[in-house]
Structure 1
Amino acid sequence: MSAKDFIQKLTDAFTKSEKSNIGKLFIIVDQQITSITSALKKTEEWRDIDNAQGKALNNLGENVGQNRGQTTDEVYRVLIRGKVARNASDGTINKMIHAISKSLNCKYTDIQIINANDSNSDDEHEPAAIIIKKIPLKALNEVGLSTNQFLQIVDSIKAGGVRVAYVTLEGSFSFAQGAIEEVSQEGFSELDQILGGMLGGLFTPGNDYKLPI
């Protein structure tokens, strides 16, 4: 209800005008109520990790015991989600993929991890090692995580004594085969840059710092 609505509800003993003294008082009160309502709404929204920023995000991190370090808000959100997911991980590959997807807020299918012992290559068999065949490049690039930082997250989730053999930076791009034109989501991008796959590759920031995990 606005100040004008309040004024109209006054009895006829008062001048029902925003320019009257009581009208001006209602306008001041209305401004204060609007300001408080806006602050309360923002407080409620910032309880959501995807919306929280700055100090509000720090508070959410402190609640789960995750330090910020020098991370940006985007990376800090990954660490907070990862802290919660890591607590539920038992080190198995399925749990690792679940924890990583929760951390990066990406699809489960964007990640592929296999045991090195299950590899088709005879040179890669190793019981206590894993191979990361596919990583969520788009999600990493969006938040500004480097390959090294991604591996730090994986290292904090994997079981003790298990080694990451190597990581394959696979993209989602594919060429047409034979005379068949490639028209899927993995083909060349259209002019609007909305459809089309991407080549493998990950942006590494100049300040590739160690994450506080």
Structure 2
Amino acid sequence: MNLKNMITRLTSNYNKNESSNVYKLFSIISSEIESLKAVFDKIESWRSIRNAEGTTLDLIGEDIMQDRQGMSDEQYRPMLRFKSSLNKSATDINSVNTTLKSITDNAFIRIHEGYNYRDINEPASIMIELKEYNPNIQYEMIDTILAAGVRAYARAISQTQGTIYMASATLYGETTTVYPYKIERIEAKAKVYVASGYNTSYETVKILPK
């Protein structure tokens, strides 16, 4: 609570002028109260693994029995999130999804069974699709939440949010190259505009929207 709020809360029985003793007293203690509030806000924030740093992370690790083992804060946080989720895991599919989300810090998209997934086709395996790779995450931790003999693969899937323009054209006497040569599956949360054209002359071809 700042000085202005403190003075405003006083009843009209008190002199609120800056020259009054009440005002002078409040001006002394208001800065201390603000400092205390900042400390309490930090304590509240650092109860979260995402925000905690240093020795506070170590204390969280003691509670869930996960040592730091020389890791930096950035490396330690995924380990703590994983151990916390693992302690509460019921080993069902929902628990696996929740644990994967905790490891990857919400970069997790979905799990696919490996026996019918694109280029894997391997029984007793899963493919974990992620929005991005994080070098601070030890992905081998995933093996500890899976049944024995199940192999885990991980792949970063590019996701696009926005507007996508796609076009193709065939031109007589011209060479048209479309990249990439091998098109991967594109997962898009966007408006997609598709256009195509065919022309056998040397006229200028415009494909809209531009």
TM-score range, shorter-chain basis? 0.5 to 0.7
Structure 2 gaps of 5+ residues are 170-185, 192-210
CA distance in 2 between partners of 1:112 and 1:156 (Å): 16
Q: How does 1:125-140 map to 2 (within 5 A)?
A: 125-126=122-123, 129-131=124-126, 133-138=127-132, 140=133
Q: Give the share of equivalent positions with the same residue, in percent.
A: 25
Shift in Å, 1:33: 1.1
CA distance in 1 between partners of 2:37 and 2:155 (Å): 47
Shift in Å, 1:134: 3.4
* Structure with the higher strand share, 1 or 2: 2
Structure 1 gaps of 5+ residues are 188-213
Correspondence for 2:143: 155
Correspondence for 2:26: 26
CA distance in 2 between partners of 1:114 and 1:183 (Å): 18
CA distance in 2 between partners of 1:23 and 1:45 (Å): 32
CA contact (8 A) 1:111 1:135 kept: yes
* Matched residue SS, 2:50: coil
Q: How does 1:113-124 map to 2 (within 5 A)?
A: 113-114=112-113, 118-119=115-116
Shift in Å, 1:136: 1.4
CA contact (8 A) 2:82 2:102 kept: yes
Shift in Å, 1:154: 0.9
Which residue identity does 1:51 align to in structure 2? Answer: N
Correspondence for 2:60: 60
CA contact (8 A) 1:97 1:113 kept: no
CA distance in 1 between partners of 2:187 and 2:74 (Å): 33
* Matched residue SS, 2:125: strand
* Matched residue SS, 2:155: coil
* Matched residue SS, 2:48: coil
Which residue identity does 2:34 align to in structure 1? Answer: T
Shift in Å, 1:168: 5.1
Deviation per residue, 1:11-33 (Å, 9 max, x gap): 67x7x554666644432211111
1 or 2 for the larger relative contact order (CA 8 Å, sep ≥6)?
Answer: 1
Q: How does 1:27-176 map to 2 (within 5 A)?
A: 27-89=27-89, 91=91, 95-106=95-106, 110-114=109-113, 118-119=115-116, 125-126=122-123, 129-131=124-126, 133-138=127-132, 140-141=133-134, 144-145=135-136, 149-150=138-139, 152-159=140-147, 161-164=148-151, 167=153, 169-172=155-158
Deviation per residue, 1:92-144 (Å, 9 max, x gap): 55543332123323266x132425xx3479x9655xx424x233142x33xx3
* Matched residue SS, 1:112: strand
CA distance in 2 between partners of 1:61 and 1:45 (Å): 17
CA contact (8 A) 1:93 1:113 kept: no
CA contact (8 A) 2:101 2:107 kept: yes
Shift in Å, 1:79: 1.4
Deviation per residue, 1:52-92 (Å, 9 max, x gap): 22222222222111222233333322212211222244555
Which shows bigger deviation, 88-97 or 40-49?
88-97
Distance 1:72 1:179, change over 3 A: same
CA distance in 1 between partners of 2:129 and 2:70 (Å): 24
